[in-house]
Every structure is written in C-alpha cells, then in structure tokens.
C-alpha cells in the first residue's frame, strides 16, 4: 500500500513537471512570436494589415493660383462635391437608378455600368454644383422623403475645380486644365510642375467583411502660386481695342502684344478670336490658337529694320545718303519689284520713313546677302524668342547659300522670310532699349502658398546686338514714320512721341501658290514715349476688308491702346517734360 502511494506521488510530480515545462515553453513561444510581430517585423505586418483594411485612391490636390502683376486673380480653385460608389456594397432598384439618372443628367445604363464593375471605388460623377448635389442626395434617400437614410455604397468627396474669374481675358496666356486638372494650354501647362507639385489621397477603412467604416481626405500638398508680368487693366485695354478692330475691318483674326522693352516683361498679349476659359468645350481650334507665337507670316516692311540698322552699323551710308527711286521699280534676278507709291530722290532716312521698297533693296544689295542674313539672325529671326509659353514656333529664314537670284530683293522688304508677331516686337524692343535683345516672358515670380519665394525671372541671356549709337540714330528715323510725311500718322499719340514702322504683306493664294491680290496682313510695331520707352507694342490684323495698309488699319489700333495704357500708367506727356525743363532752366 505504501509502495503504491509513493508510485502515485512520483507520477503526479512527473506530470506536474511536464505540464509546467509545457506551459513555460508555450509562454516562451508566444512571447517570442509576439516579440517578432511587435518588434522585429512590426512594420511589415502593419503594412499588410493596412493593405487589407484601408483602401486609398489618388485625388486632385489644390493647384496654385495665378495672379496678375498686381495680385489680381486669373485662376483660382473652388471646392465641389464628387460622387463615388463601392460597387460591391451598392444595392439599388431600377426606380432609384432612374431618379439618380435624372439628378445627374446621365443615361441610366451609364450609371448601371459603373455598378457592374464591382470595384471598391468608382467615380459616378465629379465636381457637381451644390444644386445637383442636393438632387443626388434626394435621389439616393431610402424613400422619397428628403433626410431619410441614404442607399448604402455611395459617398461624396470634396475636389477642387479650376475656375477662371476673368473668363476670356488673357485666355491664351493663362491656358486651362481638364477634369482631372491635367494641364492643356498656356501657363497651366508651362508651369504645371510648380502649380501642382504632388498628389493627394482619400482613404477608406474597412472591417473584416470589407464594409466601409470611415473615410478621410489627406491633402499632401498645395501648389505654388504664379505671379504674372501681365497687368489685367492693360490686358483689358488691348482686348477691347482688338474687338473693335475685328468689327471695324471685318478681319479674320488679330493680335496685339504690349511689352516692357527694357526687361522683356509681357504686359498684355491678346488674340482674336478667343474663348472663355470656363467654357473650353465650346471653343474651336481657331479660338485657342495663340497667334502671337504660333502663327507665322511674311512681315513686309516691318522687316526693313534689318537692312536699315545693318547699313548704319557697317557704316555703309550716312543719313543724308541719297537713292534714286524715281522709276518706282527695280529689277532683281529678272523680277520687277515696285514701290506702293512712286518717289523721287530719297535720303537714307526717307527710305525708311516712306517705306520705299526700291530704296530698301538698294541698301540690301549694298550690304550683300551674308550681312542681311547675319543681322536677321542677330535680331532673333528664325529662332524662338524663348518666351515661357508652350507652342512657340521659330519661323524661318534660309541660309544665304540657299537664296535664289531674287532673294536679295525680296528679303530686305520682308518677303521670303516667316516671322511671328512676338519676334518682330522683340526686334523693335532692341532699338527702344539701346541695342539689347531681351527674352520675352510672362511669369515674374513663383511663391509657395505661404508666400515664400520659389522662382524669380532673371534675364541672363540679355545681349547687345547693335551699338547704342546705331539704336539711337535708327530710333530717330522711326520717329519720322509717325510724323507728317510718314506712313503711320494715324499711330501718333497725343502728348507722347511714337517711333515705329508699318507693314503691309500679301498672303499666298492657296490655289495659285502666288501672292494674293486681296488677302493681306496689316501691321504696326513701335514704342512710346520714343526717347524714354515704357511700352513696345505690335498690332497685327489678318485679312482686313476695306483697307490694307498697316498705317491705316493697325496704326490707329496702336494709338488707341497706347493712349489708354500711358494714361493708366501715369506716364508724363513729352510736352509736360519740356515745360519742366524750361522751368528748371529759368
């Protein structure tokens, strides 16, 4: 009996040791596993859990705003609601689909197709007005009474929509974006990397069955703000006057650019036809073309600046050198080229003032084709200006070895070359600023949404192309174009002296491949006040009716824009300066 008790006691102890050991090892195993899960591999398993429990979708961030040089808004954002669904949770009858269809103005089958995809996140319709959002809420209510519980599986997310408060004003500069804020044109495209920066996300938490528990929006970044060189008031003046000119001359199109000749800052850039940035769907191809930088044309007499400055720079002629233009025509390479009006003996200065083709060709022939080409390139023709807008073209001028026998007669008067309005304006700005070729630009500065500087324009490429003396002499010649006896008296500004040049160019007839007899491009380019230029400006009118000459068609438009712009900028009249000088002298 005693022996049996001892055996039982020993067996119980043995069992107790085994059980205790098993429990201890069990706890050790659990501890080690927990240590592995919570310390060594915590990040890995946390990410796995997040992937199973949280669904993220990319959404749009708030783009930076675009302002004019005085801080007035050109492009901003408004928050609108977008409707989404979890197709696996949606349970909706046909009647309610029809109600939703009516609220969204969508086909019922288009809505049903989104449910059939069985995705956990699908957009139904985006960036809805407040009125439409309320209609959707009512359509998704459990019954016809507003305020009752909504059908499961639907939700709203706030998204930014790009809005352009000025409508069509400066449309070709600002550009626009698509539904997903993808850049399409203008500043929106050229500076997209600054305006957009990074994406945002919307997160959905789910339980084990996949039901949505909560959702939230994480906006990771806000875009930078862009400050333009454009002045809204000057832009309005330019566009208003172009609109009048289009009606007055029943033109096909028109362009006006206003620039600070010393810095290259574009103060206004207008095109007609145009479009409303908020209604891009209604715009045609011709409406969205930025003709100032994308359309090329033969410049005609505005190109005479090349042979004129080159001859002075090379010291081939004096201002009183004379040219016999009495015949009214000249033969070059078997081709006879005429003056618009017959002149007699003209001085070098009068050749430019009266825009004589014959005299200009004589100057060009004396220069030779190498020099004509050299100075054309110095003034930037055949190359892009480098403006910070998309779509700029370079135009063209052939190299001298590819010129025909008639080219030395055609190119000096602005034929057999192709230019953009901005290229012509930049060339004349070089006369206005004393001989420097500047880089035109429309962005002045970029700042973070907190106001910290990100980018500021500096004209590192500004270079001298002609001497200050040549620029000054030719500036004086250009003044005479607008005075009595010149071709652009209609461009004269009351109280301030203008320097500039007219251009009248024939377009090519698409049928005959020859110069058209009734399709022209009329232009005027100049700067004001002539001796202390604040504004350089070009006006180009395509296919005007009723008149064709640049001095008649484009000159008065230049005058109207300049008059109002100088008044807005409080630029003193030249005659008031003279009075002040006389008073100081006394």
d(CA 146, CA 134): 9
At residue 178, the pLDDT reads 86
Check: CB of residue 100 under 8 Å from CB of residue 136: yes
d(CA 54, CA 219): 17
pLDDT tens column, 282-338: 999 999 999 999 999 999 999 999 999 999 999 999 999 999 999 999 999 999 999
d(CA 431, CA 464): 11
Mapped onto helix, strand or coil, the DSSP state of residue 296 is coil
User: For residue 406, what pLDDT band results from cuts at 50, 70 and 90?
Assistant: very high
Q: What is the 3-state secondary structure (H, E, C) of 88-156?
A: CCCCCCHHHHHHHHHHHCCCHHHHHHHHHCCCCCEEEEEEECHHHHHHHHHHCECCCCCCCCECCCEEE
Tell me, rounded to whole angstroms, the distance of Cα 181 from its chain centroid.
15
Token pair in block for residue 54: 């949280």
Bridge partner list, 215: 204
Residue 308 contacts by C-beta under 8 Å, 6 or more apart in sequence? Answer: 351, 352, 360, 363, 474, 477
d(CA 258, CA 270): 9
| Of residues 526, 525, 522, 524, the one with CA closest to residue 549 | 522
Phi, psi for residue 474 in degrees, rounded to 5: -70, -30
Check: CB of residue 299 under 8 Å from CB of residue 410: no
User: For residue 94, what pLDDT band results from cuts at 50, 70 and 90?
Assistant: confident
Q: Please list, residue by residue across 64-99, b when 16 or more beta carbons sit within 10 angstroms of its beta carbon and e when fewer do.
A: bbbbbbeeeebbbbeebbbbbbbbeebebeeebbeb
Residue by residue, DSSP assigns 321-348 as -EEE-TTSEEEETTEEEE-SS---EEEH
Average pLDDT of the segment spanning 119-136: 84
Fold adopted by 232-279+289-443+458-585: Beta-lactamase (3.40.710)
At residue 2, the pLDDT reads 54
Asked whether the predicted pLDDT for residue 12 surpasses 70, the reply is no
At residue 142, the pLDDT reads 61
Residues 462, 468, 474, 476: what is their CA dihedral angle, to the nearest 10 degrees?
A: 120
What is the average pLDDT value for the chain, to the nearest integer?
87
Phi, psi for residue 316 in degrees, rounded to 5: -90, -25
Average pLDDT of the segment spanning 437-448: 96
Kindly state the percentage of the chain with pLDDT values over 90. 62
Mapped onto helix, strand or coil, the DSSP state of residue 531 is coil
pTM over 0.85: no
At residue 108, the pLDDT reads 84
At residue 91, the pLDDT reads 75
Asked whether the predicted pLDDT for residue 145 surpasses 80, the reply is no
Q: Sort 112 into a burial class: Cβ within 10 Å, 0-12 / 13-18 / 19+.
A: middle
User: For residue 582, what pLDDT band results from cuts at 50, 70 and 90?
Assistant: very low
At residue 219, the pLDDT reads 46
Asked whether the predicted pLDDT for residue 100 surpasses 80, the reply is yes
Q: Sort 184 into a burial class: Cβ within 10 Å, 0-12 / 13-18 / 19+.
A: middle
> What percentage of the chain's residues is helix, strand, coil (to nearest 5)?
40, 25, 35
pLDDT tens column, 418-440: 999 999 999 999 999 999 999 99
Phi-psi region of 284 (alpha: psi -120 to 50; beta: other; left: phi over 0): beta
> Domain map of the chain by residue range?
56-228, 232-279+289-443+458-585
At residue 198, the pLDDT reads 54
Strand 73-85 with 122-128, pairing = antiparallel
Residue by residue, DSSP assigns 431-454 as HHTTSEE---BSEEEEE-TTS-EE
Residue written as token pair 């081939």: 316
pLDDT tens column, 487-545: 999 999 999 999 999 999 999 888 888 889 889 999 999 999 999 999 999 999 999 99
Number of Cα atoms under 13 Å in the Cβ half of residue 283 = 21
> What class has domain 56-228?
alpha beta
Residue written as token pair 């002629």: 317
User: CA-based angle 251:537:575, to the nearest 5?
Assistant: 120
Check: CB of residue 433 under 8 Å from CB of residue 265: no
Q: Give every strand in the sheet of 515-528, ordered side by side.
A: 266-272, 253-259, 535-542, 515-528, 499-508
């Amino acid at each position: 009996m005693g022996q049996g008790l001892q055996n039982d006691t020993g067996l119980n102890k043995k069992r107790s040791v085994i059980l205790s050991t098993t429990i201890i090892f069990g706890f050790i195993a659990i501890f080690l596993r927990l240590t592995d899960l919570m310390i060594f591999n915590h990040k890995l398993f946390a990410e796995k859990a997040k992937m199973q429990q949280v669904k993220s979708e990319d959404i749009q961030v708030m783009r930076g705003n675009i302002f004019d040089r005085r801080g007035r808004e050109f492009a901003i954002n408004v928050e609108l609601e977008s409707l989404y669904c979890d197709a696996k949770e949606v349970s909706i009858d046909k009647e309610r689909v029809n109600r939703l269809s009516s609220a969204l103005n969508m086909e019922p089958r288009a809505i049903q197709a989104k449910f059939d995809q069985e995705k956990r996140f699908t957009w139904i319709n985006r960036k809805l007005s407040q009125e439409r959002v309320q209609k959707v809420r009512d359509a998704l209510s459990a019954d016809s009474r507003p305020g009752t519980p909504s059908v499961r599986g639907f939700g709203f997310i706030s998204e930014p929509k790009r809005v352009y408060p000025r409508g069509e004003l400066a449309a070709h500069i600002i550009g626009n974006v698509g539904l997903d804020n993808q850049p399409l044109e203008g500043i929106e495209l050229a500076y997209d990397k600054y305006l957009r920066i990074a994406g945002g996300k919307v997160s959905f938490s789910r339980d084990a069955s996949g039901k949505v528990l909560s959702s939230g929006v994480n906006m990771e970044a806000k875009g930078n703000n862009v400050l333009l060189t454009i002045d809204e008031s000057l832009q309005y003046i330019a566009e208003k006057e172009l609109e009048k000119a289009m009606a007055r001359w029943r033109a096909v199109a028109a362009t006006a650019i206003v620039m600070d000749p010393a810095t290259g800052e574009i103060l206004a850039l207008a095109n007609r036809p145009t479009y409303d940035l908020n209604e891009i769907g209604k715009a045609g191809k011709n409406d969205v073309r930025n003709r100032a930088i994308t359309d090329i044309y033969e410049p005609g007499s505005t190109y005479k600046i090349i042979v004129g400055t080159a001859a002075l720079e090379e010291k081939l002629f004096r201002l009183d050198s004379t040219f016999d233009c009495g015949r009214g025509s000249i033969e070059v390479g078997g081709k006879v080229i005429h003056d618009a009006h017959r002149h007699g003996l003209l001085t070098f200065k009068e050749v430019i003032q009266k825009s004589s083709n014959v005299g200009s060709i004589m100057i060009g022939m004396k220069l030779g084709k190498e020099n004509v080409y050299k100075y054309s390139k110095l003034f930037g023709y055949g190359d892009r200006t480098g403006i910070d807008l998309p779509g700029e073209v370079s135009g063209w001028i052939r190299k001298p070895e590819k010129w025909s026998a008639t080219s030395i007669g055609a190119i000096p008067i602005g034929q057999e070359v192709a230019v953009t309005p901005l290229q012509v304006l930049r060339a004349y700005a070089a006369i206005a600023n004393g001989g420097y070729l500047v880089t035109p630009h429309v962005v002045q500065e970029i700042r973070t949404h907190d106001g910290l500087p990100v980018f500021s324009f500096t004209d590192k490429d500004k270079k001298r192309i002609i001497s200050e003396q040549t620029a000054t002499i030719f500036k004086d010649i250009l003044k005479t174009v607008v005075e009595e006896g010149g071709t652009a008296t209609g461009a004269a500004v009351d109280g301030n002296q203008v320097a500039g040049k007219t251009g009248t160019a024939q377009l090519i007839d698409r049928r005959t491949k020859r110069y058209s007899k009734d399709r022209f491009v009329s232009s005027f380019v100049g700067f004001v006040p002539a001796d202390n230029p604040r504004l350089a400006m070009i006006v180009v009118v395509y296919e005007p009716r009723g008149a064709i000459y640049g001095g008649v068609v484009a000159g008065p438009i230049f005058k109207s824009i300049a008059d109002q712009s100088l008044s807005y900028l409080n630029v003193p009249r030249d005659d008031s300066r003279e009075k002040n000088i006389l008073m100081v002298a006394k």
